[in-house]
Each structure stands twice: as C-alpha cells, then as structure tokens.
Amino acid sequence: MEFNKSHRVYDFMGIRKYWIALSLTLALVSTVLLFKPGPKYGIDFLGGTELTVQFDGAIDAGRIRAVLDRMGHDHSEVVPTQRENEFLIRVEKSSPIDAARSNQIRQSVIDRLAGIEHGGTLGDFRLSPGGDHLVVQFNDSTLAGPRVATLLRDAGANVRGDSALQMGATDDHRWQVPLVGIGDEIFRGLVGDGGVGTSGRLSASVWVSPKAGAELRYAALRAVLYSIVFIMIYVAFRFDLRFAPGGILALFHDAVVTLGFFVVTRKEVTISTVAAILTVVGYSMNDTIIVYDRIRENLAKRRNIRMLDVINVSVSEMLSRTILTSLTVVLSVSAFAIIGTGVIRDFAWAMIVGVLAGTYSSIYVAAPLTEWIDSRFFHPGELVPVAAETTATPAPPAA
C-alpha cells in the first residue's frame, strides 16, 4: 500500500516550530506531573501481598476480581498459572490491620490490663514489618503465651491460633502474636459463602515489602536509562554525532510523555508498564534509525542541497512505511486496550501512546535537532539553493 504515489515532497520542516512547541509542552507538563502528583505505583513498586490459590473446580478470573473488589481490594491482579484452576493473586494491602485499627487495639489492651491482677502495664506495641504479627511487651507481667493471645483477641485482634511466641529473655516479657494475614482473609473470602468456589488450597502467601518495591523501582529506572545510553552510543557509531542527540532526545520525549499519560489517567505504573516503555523506546529508535538511514542516503546523493530539504525528501519517501507500521502496531494492541483486563490493558495503552508519540518524534523531535546541529556546527552559514526536484508541498495535517 502506497500513500504517497505521486512521490511529492512535503514541507515537514516548514511547520516544525508548531510541532516542536507541542512536544516541549507535552514533555514539560509530563515532567511536572511526574513530581506532582506523581505516578500511581502498583504492587510491584509499593509492596503488598501475593498469594497462590488453587480451586477444585473451573473458575473464571473475572469472578475472582469481582469478589476481591467487593472485599475492598481494588486494582488487584489475577493471573492464571500453568496449573489447572490455579491463580496468582496480588493485592496492595500487606497487613490486615491499619494504623487506626492498631491504635484501637492498643488502647483496648491497656484498658483490659488495668483489670487483670499482675497483668502489668503495656510497654512496646507494634506491628511487624510484614503486618502479620503483633509484637507486645509488658512491664512486670505474669501473663503467659495463651493468656497473651486471648488478651489480644478480646481486644479485637484477629489472632491466629491460641498461643504467642516469647521473644528474648524471660524477664523481657516480650511476645510475638501471629495474626490472620491478608492472604488468609482473601482465601476465606474466595472459598466461603459469596465466594467463587466451595473448596480450594492456599499454596503460598508472600509479603512484598515497600523497601523491595523501592529497590525494584530504581532498578526499572536504571534499566530505561541504560538502554537509552547504549542506544545513543550505537547511533553515534552507526551514523555520526549529528544524529545521536536527536535520537536520544526523541527517546526521552517518548518515555516521559507515556509516563505523563499514566499520571493523568491515574493508571498504575507496574513492571509491565516499564516493559511497555522499554518496548516503546525500542520501537521509536527503530523508526528513527530508518528515517536517519534515508537521510544519510539522500545526503550522499544530494550534496548540493541543505540538510533541511534532505529531511523533507527523506521523510516524504518514508511516509507510507511510517504510517503503515505505526497503524499496524496501534490496531494490534487496541483490542487489548478495549477488551483486555488489568495489566494487559495498561500495557496496551502504554504501547498506543508510546507508538503515536514515537512516530511523530522521529519527524519533529529527532530530525529538527539533527538539522539544527548540522547548520550550527557542521555547515554554519551555508544556504545552498534548493534543487528543482525538491520543491516542497506543505505537509498535510495528518502527517
């Protein structure tokens, strides 16, 4: 399919100032949004609970998500595993007790200790880092394990079992009391009344700490930056220094605009989003390399014309290829954006926005910067008359 059958040369660079202004606006707004209000990070980056549940009968993932939403676990992830009727479930919460509830239980324990002979007074009272244990310490107390568990249960804590584990020396009176965790609560909600099945097995329940999520977030950022740096080195060797800055600026532009879209729409940024951005970076660089390659070929064939006109000729020649490639990718992932769920839908939207941004950034971010560098540092002051064959037609709005 050929969109430019007449082989006309459109004056893309003649309207570049409008597109450059749009690109600068989008990039600046997106950069500001990344700091305030900032991205909405998912479980991968903030921490949460991950559990594996296998049901005894066939279960639909959509029904599981509906039950999780009803239980208050919004934006949960439900992914089928390779085993039959087994699902990997991720939720944002890591503790069954929030700060307000913890304070209520603490105050109730203090009130109850006042009525217990030799109960002592409450010293330390805190949640474990994972939120699945309560750590309590009494001053001059004779309370033993079962009585400590009963005390906390009467105070409103959802205690697992009938005893507590003593920590440290005997005279420290410090106890660790296990709680029914988020994983257990979710499993009971899924297989109980109003759930999706009557029986099943909780194969694993893992807590993902916020610290691990922060480390993963920085690792993802480094992955994007490293990929951009190595691509810049590749472009510098493949072409020359005139081309590398434009290509790198286009990559930063595409990544920032895509993240800005996620901030505006309040979609979660997860590992899948980072994978989509890396895919967009690769796609955008491939598109830019193809345009650059045609510019280099035309520079060798048309040595008597300006870089500005060479870019117009090259982009016009690649117009059909650019439109068809981008349209194919967008149409392919649009189905996932419309009917997909959860992570797949967010990945598809990242691809759509990134591909659209990458398509025009190859023309109106990378190419104009390359032309500016060429006219400023490589051929300053050269204004060679344009050859008759490069007489340009104003670029159509769709381009």
| Whole-angstrom distance, CA of residue 174 vs CA of residue 159 | 16
Tallying the residues shown for the chain, one arrives at: 399
Which tokens belong to 108? 């109730």
Residue 246 identity? G
Strand locations in the chain, DSSP E? 10-11, 40-41, 48-55, 77-80, 86-91, 121-127, 133-139, 165-167, 174-178, 200-208, 268-269, 393-394
* 80 shares its domain with 109: no
Task: Check residue 2 and give its pLDDT.
Answer: 59
Where residue 340 sits, what CATH number does that domain have? 1.20.1640.10
Per the structure, the complete domain to which residue 290 belongs is given by: 10-42+211-394
Give just the sign of the alpha carbon dihedral 42, 44, 48, 50: positive
* 191 shares its domain with 244: no
The verdict on residue 261 lying in a domain is yes
Tokens 């980056």 sit at which residue? 45
* 146 shares its domain with 284: no
* 330 shares its domain with 237: yes
Tell me how crowded residue 198 is: count the other CB atoms within 10 A of its CB.
Answer: 11
Task: Check residue 32 and give its pLDDT.
Answer: 93
Domain end: 166, 192, 208, which one? 208
Residues of the chain short of pLDDT 70, as ranges, are 1-6, 129-130, 208-213, 341-342, 378-399
Residues near 164 by Cβ (< 8 Å), separated by ≥ 6? 145, 146, 148, 149, 152, 175, 176, 177, 178
Residues near 224 by Cβ (< 8 Å), separated by ≥ 6? 255, 274, 277, 278, 281
The verdict on residue 164 lying in a domain is yes
Residues near 372 by Cβ (< 8 Å), separated by ≥ 6? none
The verdict on residue 399 lying in a domain is no
* 273 shares its domain with 338: yes
Domain end: 135, 160, 180, which one? 180
* 71 shares its domain with 202: yes
Which tokens belong to 51? 């559990």
Phi, psi for residue 231 in degrees, rounded to 5 = -65, -40
Task: Check residue 120 and give its pLDDT.
Answer: 79
The verdict on residue 342 lying in a domain is yes
In our burial notation (b when 16+ CB lie closer than 10 A, e otherwise), range 21-46 reads: eebeebbeebeebbeeeebbbbbbbb
CB 276 within 8 A of CB 303: no
Domains in the chain: how many in total?
Answer: 3
Tell me how crowded residue 141 is: count the other CB atoms within 10 A of its CB.
Answer: 20
Where residue 150 sits, what CATH number does that domain have? 3.30.1360
Element spanning 160, H or E: none
CB 109 within 8 A of CB 61: no
* 152 shares its domain with 199: no
* 54 shares its domain with 199: yes
The verdict on residue 248 lying in a domain is yes
* 172 shares its domain with 191: no
Phi-psi region of 327 (alpha: psi -120 to 50; beta: other; left: phi over 0): alpha
| The Cα angle at residue 138 between residues 137 and 143, in degrees rounded to 5 | 110
3-state class percentages of the chain: helix first, strand second, coil last, to nearest 5: 60, 15, 30
The verdict on residue 347 lying in a domain is yes
* 76 shares its domain with 109: no
DSSP classification of residue 159: B
* 168 shares its domain with 314: no
Q: Which residue from 24, 46, 327, 54 is spatially nearest to 207, judged by alpha carbons?
A: 46
C-alpha 11: how far from chain center? 38
* 59 shares its domain with 87: yes
Task: Check residue 391 and give its pLDDT.
Answer: 44
The verdict on residue 20 lying in a domain is yes
| The Cα angle at residue 209 between residues 96 and 128, in degrees rounded to 5 | 50
The verdict on residue 141 lying in a domain is yes
